[in-house]
Amino acid sequence: MRYLVLAAALAAVATLSLLVGPGDLGDAALRGTFLSLRAARVSGAMLAGGALGAAGALVQGLFRNPLASPSILGTTAGASFGGQVVLLAHASLASAGWLAWVAPEMVLPIGCLTGAFVSLAVLLAFVRRGADLLSLLLIGFALTSLFLALGSFLTTLAQERYELGRAVVAFTLGGLGGVDWTHVRLAIPLVAVAVVAGWLWGRPLDVLLAGEMEAASLGVDVPRTRRWTIAWVGVLTAAAVAIGGNIAFVGLVVPHALRPFFGAEHRRLIPAAVLGGATFLGACDLLARVLPTRVEAPLGVVTGLIGAPLFLLLLVRTRREGVA
Amino acid sequence: MIEARDLTVTRDGRKVLDRVAFHAAAGEVTSILGPNGAGKSTLLAALAGLLPIEAGEVSIGGARLGELTAMQRARRVAYVPQRTELRSALQVETVVSHGRYAHQAGLGRPGPADLEAVEDALRKADVLELRGRRFDHLSTGEQRRVLLARALATQAEVILLDEPTAALDVRHALELHALLEALADDGLCLVAVLHGLDAARRHTRRATLIDRGVVVAAGPSDEVIAPDFVRAVYGVELVEDAALGFRLGGPA
């Protein structure tokens, strides 16, 4: 029943997103084009949101911490930086006559994946030395700052060429304005495989909630579980970033909001987080489109405006309850 | 049932256990005793196969622990920590069902044997009435019983418990000891790290006393918890008392 409520919310947001936006659907000649463009954008938003929701549920389970999320831990920034590197590298190679036949969006996921994995690997190296919540958040902050600084440098380099500069800035800010069916078709297998695989790892992650030593005593292969969970979090984050750029807070807010209704068991939470994440990001994108601003508000700005106060609220509540 | 020979564990360059020999039989509760920092919890974790061992070996029913996979090991030896890191909103029944993890292949869906084992464990640990409650909302004593139920659900022949009565009031501590003795009567091999010499002498049949990573004495509890050993290890006088069994005097 609870999944049905989420599915109904998702369907409502999808329908609204198809109906609302610039362009007159009453024009029979253009209706099909408008609907196709909007459908690609809605699908992209929902894929990215679902991926970030699932990634958030997985990463919160792995770190046994409700405040963990790909954006807080620097994974999103890592994926975003990886994407920027690939965009720049592709442009340079294309101008030299290499790889010109490959569209940038085809190679973007590779850069995002590499960036996400590098970021997660650094984080995990610290976690294995026994980092507490505060250290974890600080490491995430440091990683985010580092990748943003490096990304800013790349953005500056990209300004030498107008089109490339625009593409890198748009990708960095996060948005779904440029999403087409190519993006969606590329991301669908990545997200589908990673969600199913993450769901399959749900049971050892449940046992791991009791800590690594207890989980090992119950038969969980802890290093393997950690390795694979990180791999799927990396794939999900990279897929989301490849679609919509640097979108913060979805992976944090969605699983946290759904846990009271679906429980802490990952095999219940992950499907809910996929539906919830898709609905949340779809709604944020709709909001970004209808906000009365002169230019469309970047999606990352909308999710940040909603997510940041919620994160602070959760941080205060978590510390008060002694979980930290 | 569970045995260790020449067990040596090093941490940060310091030998925490030095060629320790240990033996515990089925049908008995065996205690591991010693002062703070003696290496009791390290010995228990090493017996559970949860620590890297520098030298020596642990065997359960003749099978070498180091040669078992994590799943095989979990089906033979269960470990109940002193404190759990579990703070999630999982239901008690779900926590206990984690004891079946090593029995479930494939998608990990519980079968009839798993459901029966969980039911049996909930009943034996006397937590049937808590099954629908959230684990993080339970008292310390209730959480201990749930963790014991999780260990029972593994159906392992050996259960290792790290200070199972720490932070429990007298009544709950006595109830837990009675439960452990009843489980031993059912044929299980139970090993418990204990601090209280009185509880060890009353509720465990055998004891191993260690100090600074070395075994000082091992054998029947009333022979190990004796004046000479207690004086040598704890530096206090143990005085036999007809009414109390014994009492502890001031520093020797």
- Residue A167: how many CA atoms within 13 Å on its side-chain side? 22
Instruction: Among B138, B156, B174, give the residue marking a domain's end.
Output: B156
Same domain, residue pair B100 and B167? no
List the single residue in A207, A259, A323 with the smallest CB-CB distance to B101: A207
Interface test with B, best of A60, A212, A217 (most B CBs within 10 A): A217
In whole angstroms, give the CA distance from residue B164 to residue B38.
Answer: 18
What is the percentage of chain B residues whose pLDDT exceeds 70?
Answer: 96
Q: How far is CA B91 from the centre of its chain?
A: 24
Residue A145 included in any domain? yes
**Selection from A287, A306, A274 nearest residue A46 by Cα:** A274
pLDDT for the residue numbered A24: 72
| Closest residue, chain B, to A224 (C-alpha) | B70
Tokens of A38: 């909007």
Torsional sign, CA B84, B86, B91, B97: negative
Same domain, residue pair B163 and B237? yes
pLDDT for the residue numbered A131: 64
Q: How many CB pairs under 8 A join A and B?
A: 71
Question: What single string gives the DSSP state of each residue in B57-103?
Answer: EEEETTEEGGGS-HHHHHHHEEEE-SS----S--BHHHHHHGGGGGG
Interface test with A, best of B87, B91, B107 (most A CBs within 10 A): B87
The CA–CA distances, whole Å, from A235 to A69, A116, A190 equal 14, 8, 7
Residue B21 included in any domain? yes
CB contact under 8 A, A210 and B89: no
pLDDT tens per residue across all 324 residues of chain A: 889 999 999 999 999 988 887 777 777 777 888 888 889 999 999 999 999 999 999 999 888 887 788 877 888 899 999 988 988 888 888 777 777 777 777 788 888 889 988 998 888 888 777 666 567 778 888 999 999 999 888 888 888 778 778 778 878 777 787 788 888 888 899 999 999 999 999 999 999 999 889 999 999 998 888 888 888 988 898 889 888 887 878 998 899 889 888 988 999 999 999 999 999 999 999 988 887 777 777 787 888 888 888 878 877 776 665 443
Q: Which domain holds residue B209?
A: 1-61+157-252
Residue B69 included in any domain? no
CB contact under 8 A, A219 and B89: no
List the single residue in B48, B74, B87 with the smallest CB-CB distance to A323: B87
| Closest residue, chain B, to A210 (C-alpha) | B86
pLDDT for the residue numbered A324: 34
pLDDT for the residue numbered A133: 59
Residues B231/B218, Cβ–Cβ less than 8 Å: no
Residues A297/A288, Cβ–Cβ less than 8 Å: yes
Same domain, residue pair B161 and B151? no
Residue type, A65: N
Residue B74 included in any domain? no
pLDDT for the residue numbered B2: 94
In whole angstroms, give the CA distance from residue A24 to residue A45.
Answer: 22
The minimum CA-CA distance between A201 and chain B, rounded to whole Å, is 9
CB contact under 8 A, B86 and A264: no
Residue A26 included in any domain? no
Instruction: Among B100, B124, B156, give the residue marking a domain's end.
Output: B156
Q: Which residues pair with B60 in a beta bridge?
A: B2, B63
Number of separate domains in chain B: 2
| Closest residue, chain A, to B107 (C-alpha) | A200
pLDDT for the residue numbered A294: 73
Section B194-218 average pLDDT: 92
C-alpha torsion B111→B105→A270→B128, nearest 10: 40
CB contact under 8 A, A203 and B101: yes
Residues A280/A92, Cβ–Cβ less than 8 Å: no
The minimum CA-CA distance between A263 and chain B, rounded to whole Å, is 7
Tokens of B140: 């310390």
In whole angstroms, give the CA distance from residue A132 to residue A141.
Answer: 14
Residue B161 included in any domain? yes
Tokens of A54: 């699932």
pLDDT for the residue numbered A319: 64
Residues A75/A232, Cβ–Cβ less than 8 Å: no
List the single residue in A200, A213, A220 with the smallest CB-CB distance to B81: A213
Residue A279's H or E segment, with its range, is helix A266-290
Same domain, residue pair B112 and B48? no
Residue type, A18: L
Average of per-residue pLDDT values in chain B: 90
- Nearest-Å Rg of the Cα atoms of chain B is 18
The beta strand positions in A134-280, using DSSP E, are none
The minimum CA-CA distance between A140 and chain B, rounded to whole Å, is 22
Residues A307/A284, Cβ–Cβ less than 8 Å: no
Residues A252/A67, Cβ–Cβ less than 8 Å: yes
Same domain, residue pair B252 and B161? yes
In whole angstroms, give the CA distance from residue B94 to residue B145.
Answer: 14
Q: Please provide residue A224's backbone torsions phi and psi, each rounded to the nearest 5 degrees.
A: -65, -45
pLDDT digits (tens, 9 = 90+) for B114-171: 999 999 999 999 899 999 999 989 988 889 899 999 999 999 999 999 999 887 788 8
Residue type, A35: L
List the single residue in B79, B88, B95 with the smallest CB-CB distance to A217: B79
A137 against B68, higher pLDDT: B68
List the single residue in B48, B88, B102 with the smallest CB-CB distance to A264: B88
- Nearest-Å Rg of the Cα atoms of chain A is 19
Residue type, B245: G
Residue A18 included in any domain? no
Same domain, residue pair B22 and B47? yes
pLDDT for the residue numbered A318: 66
Residue B77 included in any domain? no
CB contact under 8 A, B50 and A213: yes
Residue B70 included in any domain? no
CB contact under 8 A, B85 and A210: yes
Residue A11 included in any domain? no
Same domain, residue pair B225 and B108? no
Instruction: Among B156, B183, B216, give the residue marking a domain's end.
Output: B156
Q: How far is CA A116 from the centre of its chain?
A: 11
Residue type, A87: L
Q: Which domain holds residue A166?
A: 2-6+44-319
Task: Name every residue whose Cβ is closer than 8 Å to that of residue B36 and which is 6 or more positions away in sequence.
Answer: none
CB contact under 8 A, B85 and A214: yes
Residue A202 included in any domain? yes
Question: What single string gives the DSSP state of each residue in A121-171?
Answer: HHHHHHHTTT--HHHHHHHHHHHHHHHHHHHHHHHHHHTTSHHHHHHHHHH
The minimum CA-CA distance between A261 and chain B, rounded to whole Å, is 11
Residues A274/A38, Cβ–Cβ less than 8 Å: no
Number of separate domains in chain A: 1
Lowest mean pLDDT among A226-240, A293-307, B5-19, B79-93: A293-307
List the single residue in A213, A216, A264 with the smallest CB-CB distance to B90: A264
Residues B84/B28, Cβ–Cβ less than 8 Å: no
Same domain, residue pair B171 and B245? yes
The SS3 of residue A322 is coil
Task: Name every residue whose Cβ is closer than 8 Å to that of residue A125 and which is 6 or more positions away in sequence.
Answer: none
Residue A197 included in any domain? yes
Same domain, residue pair B138 and B222? no
Tokens of A153: 């440098």
The SS3 of residue B211 is strand
Same domain, residue pair B130 and B172? no
Q: Which residues pair with B193 in a beta bridge?
A: B32, B162
The minimum CA-CA distance between B142 and chain A, rounded to whole Å, is 16
Residue A294 included in any domain? yes
Q: Which residues of B touch A207 (CB under 8 A)?
A: 98, 101
Interface test with B, best of A129, A133, A218, A318 (most B CBs within 10 A): A218
CB contact under 8 A, A210 and B98: yes
The CA–CA distances, whole Å, from A22 to A184, A223, B10, B252 equal 21, 50, 69, 89
Q: Which residues of A touch B50 (CB under 8 A)?
A: 213, 216-217
The minimum CA-CA distance between A269 and chain B, rounded to whole Å, is 12
In whole angstroms, give the CA distance from residue B142 to residue B168.
Answer: 10
pLDDT for the residue numbered B117: 96
Q: What size, in residues, is chain B? A: 252
Residue B126 included in any domain? yes
SS3 letters across A7-37:
HHHHHHHHHHHHHCCCCCCCCHHHHHHHHHH
Q: Please provide residue B164's backbone torsions phi and psi, each rounded to the nearest 5 degrees.
A: -65, -20
Residue B221 included in any domain? yes
B193 against A71, higher pLDDT: B193
Residue A51 included in any domain? yes
Same domain, residue pair B152 and B196? no
| Confidence label for B93 from pLDDT (cuts 50, 70 and 90) | very high
Section B16-30 average pLDDT: 94
Same domain, residue pair B96 and B201? no
The minimum CA-CA distance between A139 and chain B, rounded to whole Å, is 22
The verdict on pTM exceeding 0.90 is no
